[in-house]
Amino acid sequence: MNGQRVKRNDVIKFTIKMQKKLLVLFLFILAAFVGLSVQLFLINRDNGEEYKKQVLSHQEYDSVIIPFKRGEIVDANGTVLAVSNKVYNVILDTKLLLRKEDYLEPTLSALNRFFEIDTGTVRSYIAAHPDSSYYVMAKRVGYEEKTAFEEFCADPEQGANIKGVWFENEYKREYPNGRLACDVIGFTTGDNAGTYGLEEYYNDLLSGTNGREYGYLNDDSTLERTTIAARDGNNIQLTIDANIQTIVEKYLREFNEEYKDNARPGNGAQNLGCIIMDVDTAGILAMASYPDFDLNDVRNTENLLGMPLLDKDGKKVNGEIVTQEALDAMDDQVMYQHLNALWKNFCIVDSYEPGSVAKPFTVAAALESGSITGNETYNCEGVLAVGDHKIKCHQRYGDGLLTVQQGIERSCNVVLMNVAFALGKDQFVDYQHTFGFGLKTNIDLAGEARTASMVYTKDNIGMTDLATNSFGQSFNATMIQMITGFCSLINGGNYYAPHMASRITTADGATIENVEPRLLKQTISRSTSDTILEYCNTVVTGEFGTGKTARPAGYMIGGKTGTAETLPRGNDEYVVSFMGYAPADDPQIAIYVVVDRPNVANQDNARHATGIVRKVLTEVLPYLNIYMTEELSDKEREELEQLQIQIRTPQGAEEEPALDEDGNPIDPEGGEGSESGETPKEGEAGSEEQTEEPPQRDESWKNFPLDPETGFLVDPETGAYIDPELGTVMGGGSLLGETPQPGTPGEPPSENEPEGTE
């Protein structure tokens, strides 16, 4: 009995002891757990990201860039000029492809069939990179190719074993209208960055921000992904009208075809340029130059054929042109120089001596400053002595006594030199800057040339320089400078900043900014502007007006012709131009056409430019709902009817010959003579003092014999060609004076090259 009690008590004692031990153990474990939890919390707080990265580094990490869509460029009417369309890169996941031996051959066969991917190249990559998950096999395939491949893969019989292929989205820049406005729009590089034109100038606005899809993957490549959406670029709407741009480019191309390989091998001119501008806003309605190129194929070297040949520094090579043989011999550096010359925009990059289109600026400055009243008369005997030089007028036989208005009408250099002398050197330089010469216009296009070193300052201009500057020689300008300043002459003196963009919108169409015209300054008064309009109208309407052939049938316009002899003087090479406006009584648009060294025997003929102006305005003015005000002759009516036939059926129509205002055919080689400032040879008579009796114009040239081959009259003493209508002397070696060359006293700095900054 006692023994049993002892056993029972022993059990009770064991149980209580164990409970105590268990309690202590529990408390110890609990404390350890709490301590461990605190420690884990502290580790996660202080070093969590570091350990997370270490863990993820042992996983497969997947990150995909979501590309942005570059903004569109559209014309004033919404016509798309530049757009980014979705394309696809073909990607191979080697690891997935190698999971089963049955996947390899069907997949390679399908890739070759649908994308023409070289299977040998892919096999080599697979062998060298069996664990790769990302290999680009083909870039920028179209939607149709991608869809056809996916449909093939979806077929349970044919596509069951095609594995490891997926598509990465990308965008390809495309230009639906090919060559249209190529110099204005520019293009993009392979990395979607804009170069040249609007693409470069507005690159930041057109570009968006890439998005990203990312996460880490397990062995089954399954994981929830985090996506940050791409932000697409903004769109730009232009002041350019694609219809007007098309008309301009058509006639520049037509001129090139007509005169290509004419007097010499090569294009119809070294450069052709045309700008049409809204007079009251400086918005660009059209801007084009030739030669041009296809924006979808910018490196096509066929466009270089006929251009001047360049060396590795971009300098012209002895009058040679680009031939196929020359192309084949070019290294990369020389080829780039030629492509760069092709891609640049002649209208804003190249500078040249503008010639007589600068004469209205000289007269406007003199009128505005009070240096002349406009009632003055000057005697032109065909030459004027200035210092040690005798500077010719283009009317070799003299125009006699002329008013300032007649000086503009007939483009008389002698009148303009006298006007400039009345103005004075200091005021002339001040007004040149007022009109924008030597200054960038800051048009919203990439690549505008700086011309500060190509005009005179008060410190270096001499009387001879003042004389030649008065009629647009011995200083350089760009087309955009000339037409922007000219608009201020004819719109009341308001100088607006030229611009291409009219509106900026987001990718979904919300307007960010309406680009309003920016009035920068007042160049002249309204009264002076009205006087310049009156003078320039006579260039087209006057009996001796040099711009008659620019007038389109049914309209009256105004403007000014220009002919500038290039350097070196006496090379018989000229830049001819016409800058005008329409309608004559209320200008709405300005047009400026420049023909740089036309491919003809006698280059100093302004009709090479006026002919283009006439054709362009004949189509543009009705399009702009500017109505005819002049009665049509029967010949003009026939001409317009023929034009309508050409527009409707351009392939089969034959063009009627160009007609003058009297309805007579125009000799393409006839027309106005040189207006360039030519310095006569020593010994030629200078100007004489005006007599009481008004001098009469020498018209003895009317009795000169006619050369049937050229259509010009021939001076029997000198052999010079004379325009049979105006009596002006065409370019000819024996009559060309020797104008002071750059680098001699009184001349511009040596940088003043008439061919402009390439």
CATH 3.40.710.10 boundaries in the chain: 347-735
Mean pLDDT of 57-73: 76
Sheet holding 211-217, edge to edge: 60-66, 211-217, 226-228
CA distance 586 to 538: 15
The two beta strands, 501-505 and 511-514, are antiparallel
CATH code given to domain 347-735: 3.40.710.10
* Token pair in block for residue 523: 């160049």
* Token pair in block for residue 383: 């030459």
Q: Give the pLDDT of residue 694.
A: 46
pLDDT value at 168 more than 50 = yes
* Token pair in block for residue 210: 């890439």
Mean pLDDT of 663-670: 47
CA distance 576 to 596: 7
3-state SS, 250-310, equals HHHHHHHHHHCCCCCCCCCEEEEEEEEEECCCCEEEEEEEECCCCCCCCCCHHHHCCCEEE
Q: Are 393 and 417 in contact (CB under 8 A)?
A: no
Phi, psi of 545 (to 5 degrees): -65, 135
Task: Pick the more confident residue, 739 or 195.
Answer: 195
Q: Give the pLDDT of residue 671.
A: 42
Residues 6+ apart with CB under 8 A from 734: 718, 719, 720
Work out the pLDDT band at 689, boundaries 50, 70, 90: very low
* Tens digit of each residue's pLDDT (9 = 90 or more) over 559-579: 999 999 998 888 889 999 999
Mean pLDDT of 215-237: 75
Q: Are 233 and 66 in contact (CB under 8 A)?
A: no
Q: Give the pLDDT of residue 749.
A: 33
Work out the pLDDT band at 222, boundaries 50, 70, 90: low
CA distance 363 to 404: 8
Q: Give the pLDDT of residue 719.
A: 65
Range in 224-228, 480-484, 629-633, 658-662 with the lowest mean pLDDT: 658-662
Q: Are 464 and 386 in contact (CB under 8 A)?
A: yes
Q: Are 169 and 65 in contact (CB under 8 A)?
A: no
Range in 13-27, 147-161, 221-235 with the lowest mean pLDDT: 13-27
The three-class DSSP label of residue 410 is: helix
From residue 629, give the alpha-carbon distance in Å to each of 44, 485, 572, 626.
87, 27, 40, 9
Q: Are 532 and 372 in contact (CB under 8 A)?
A: no
Report the CATH fold assignment for 64-236: Penicillin-binding protein 2a (Domain 2) (3.90.1310)
Q: Give the pLDDT of residue 278.
A: 98
Mean pLDDT of 540-567: 94
Element (H, E) at 631: none
pLDDT value at 745 more than 50 = no
* Tens digit of each residue's pLDDT (9 = 90 or more) over 93-140: 888 888 888 888 989 999 999 999 998 999 999 999 888 888 999 988
pLDDT value at 63 more than 60 = yes
Work out the pLDDT band at 41, boundaries 50, 70, 90: confident
Work out the pLDDT band at 727, boundaries 50, 70, 90: low
Q: Give the pLDDT of residue 645.
A: 78
Mean pLDDT of 653-660: 47
CATH 3.90.1310.10 boundaries in the chain: 64-236
CA distance 422 to 371: 6
Under DSSP, the state recorded for 135 is: E
Q: Are 593 and 550 in contact (CB under 8 A)?
A: no
* Tens digit of each residue's pLDDT (9 = 90 or more) over 367-404: 999 999 999 999 999 999 998 889 988 888 888 999 99
CA distance 754 to 747: 13
Nearest residue to 293 (alpha-carbon basis) of 201, 195, 200, 178:
178
Q: What is the mean pLDDT of the chain?
A: 84
CA distance 656 to 544: 25
From residue 132, give the alpha-carbon distance in Å to each of 95, 140, 242, 255.
6, 21, 49, 58
Q: Give the pLDDT of residue 101.
A: 86
* Tens digit of each residue's pLDDT (9 = 90 or more) over 322-347: 999 999 999 999 999 999 999 999 99
pLDDT value at 60 more than 80 = no
Put simply, whether the predicted model's pTM sits higher than 0.85 gets the answer no
